[in-house]
Amino acid sequence: MEVTMDPLFLAWSYFRRRKLQQCSEICTKILHDNPYDQAAWSLKTCSLTEMVYIDEIEVDQEGIAEMMLDENSIAQVARPGTSLRLPGTSQGGGPTPAVRPMTQSGRPITGFVRPSTQSGRPGTMEQAIKTPRTASTARPVTSSSGRFVRLGTASMLTNPDGPFINLSRLNLAKYSQKPNLSKTLFEYIFHHENDVKNALDLAAQATEHAQFKDWWWKVQLGKCYYRLGLYREAEKQFRSALNQQEVVDTYLYLAKVYQRMDQPVTALNLFKQGLDHFPGEVTLLTGVARIHEELNNISSATEYYKDVLKQDNTHVEAIACIGSNHFYTDQPEIALRFYRRLLQMGVYNCQLYNNLGLCCFYAQQYDMALSSFERALGLVCSDEEQAEVWYNIGHVAVGIGDLTLAYQCFKLALALNNDHAEAYNNLAVLELRKGHIEQAKAFLQTAASLAPHMYEPHFNFSILSEKIGDLQSSYTAAQKSEDAFPEHVDTQKLLKQLRQHFAVL
């Protein structure tokens, strides 16, 4: 005779092994037999939540509405080092754009792609709605509708009988009295249904029931307020939760609120406070490093990433960021070490081999450079990645003086990714060397329109125009180049020369 396991225990076991689909199926059966089984109901909400759970702290992308219609920004011209919005407020620690390329928002490119490293703050509405080259999707309209709504509604499609819990018929007041059910119910509403307003209602009633003594509910209230864009209220809730109970998560949420309110210095202080209570906490250290990086203070960001590595020597983000910083500060051999470490840890993708190839080439380890690129080409999973690899091979070809190969590589990069502004720029220089002035001009114009944040196309166009005698175009292009990179000495020289030329009789 077969001994059947208690179905609830089996479901619980499935849940712990993260076989969430099976778990929820068993719970559905139990509930079919006994609709009032609270344990099964609770377990099912948990498993459904886990299926769509995403880390609230990490996922953070400012939508167009938040960025362009921001009510919280007061100071348009912030003092240097106090705002995340002005990319130019570097404290002198970072490399110049001549050494380290810039992203669209005017920050040096980072070694590790996170949701917020791509975004930056576009200057105009047109820039905001243009598809950025590096991310293959446009920006979400607002973070409270776009992505999150889809995550919530996707699960509804799989359920032919309609939703598991009908929120509109739910008596929130009743559930808020039951602490053992209300927490799982809240997470279900917040993560699975993505109904922030109902979640907020529930949390408000539950925290009242707990006589404002449960820090957990306060954090949840803060999360709801954050989602709704009520940052000041969220700050209040998180602060109050922290007074009751020191939790790393709460620190991270609160820092997120401060970053959204564009108060990086307050966020840094908060992280320091958190590090006093939780010394060596990796997530807090990473947070500090990220803020320093966004403030363009690369050298101190690197210091903090090094601290992260002391605590957790397999932290991919820290290794990648330190590696890229070494690469751009003229120490490719050390960068190579860091990337090799990533390889040893099992990161095995196109981007890594791409970086390895470049590091090998610039560290004069020529025997490994091109084979790394070949590996990278073998591992590509999208056209954009392939374009980047060809672009880098093109750089190597320029380095060894094989201009035919370089020309082919840049053209291939363009064939695979039509918006590759850097490739357009380099191709223009090659065309100019061949004497094809019209072609070079057209490419430079395209590069400048694709990436107005880069100074190179403007500067090259300026030089080209100056050579063919079109001083007016040269002057306007040089001014654009100066806007993109004010410290560029060659641009300054050219501008001075042009001004002299205009003043002479």
Among 20, 172, 261, 412, binds another protein (CB under 8 A): 412
Residue 364 touching another protein (CB under 8 A)? yes
Q: Which one of 82-90, 200-208, 248-256, 376-384 is the stretch in contact with another protein (CB under 8 A)?
A: 376-384
**In the range 147-176, which residues lie near another protein by CB under 8 A?**
149-150, 153
Distances, alpha carbon 57 to alpha carbons 70, 195, 244, 260, 292, in Å: 21, 18, 21, 12, 18
Q: Which of 62, 235, 384, 482 binds another protein (CB under 8 A)?
A: 384
Distances (CA, A) of 344 to 135, 180, 433: 28, 45, 43
What minimum distance in Å lies between the beta carbon of 118 and another protein? 13
Q: Supply the DSSP symbol for 294.
A: H
Closer CB to another protein, 236 or 436, in the complex: 436
Asked whether position 34 contacts another protein by CB under 8 A, the answer is no
- Verify binding: residue 363, another protein, rule CB under 8 A: yes
Q: Which amino acid is at 100?
A: R
Element (H, E) at 358: helix 350-362
Closest CA relative to residue 250, chosen from 278, 229, 290: 278
Q: The dihedral of CA 352, 355, 360, 361: what is its sign?
A: positive
- Rounded CA-CA distance 179/173 in Å is 12
Binding another protein (rule: CB under 8 A), the pick from 159, 400, 472, 486 is: 400
Nearer to another protein, 42 or 91 (CB): 91
Residue (166 or 364) nearer to another protein, CB: 364
- Exactly one of 34, 72, 96, 131 binds another protein (CB under 8 A); that residue is 131
| Contact residue for another protein among 72, 137, 313, 314 (CB under 8 A) | 137
Contact present, 288 and 318 (Cβ < 8 Å) = no
Per-residue b or e along 69-86, where b marks 16 or more CB atoms closer than 10 Å to that residue's CB: ebeeeeeeebeeeebbbb
In the complex, minimum distance from the CB of residue 212 to another protein, in angstroms, rounded to a whole number: 36
Q: Considering the complex, what minimum distance in angstroms separates the CB of residue 364 from another protein? A: 6
CA distance 357 to 220: 46
Closest CA to 377 of 435, 342, 416, 337: 416
Given a contact cutoff of 8 angstroms between Cβ atoms, the answer to whether 41 and 31 are in contact is: yes
Residues 435-464 that bind another protein (CB under 8 A): 438-439, 441-443, 445-446, 449-450
C-alpha 103/C-alpha 119 separation (Å) is 9
> Which of 54, 99, 138, 173 touches another protein by CB under 8 A?
138
Contacts with another protein by CB under 8 A lie at 64, 126, 129-131, 136-141, 145-146, 149-150, 153, 329-331, 333-334, 337, 363-367, 369-371, 373-374, 377, 383-384, 390, 393, 400, 402, 405, 408-409, 411-412, 414-416, 418-419, 438-439, 441-443, 445-446, 449-450, 499-500, 503-505
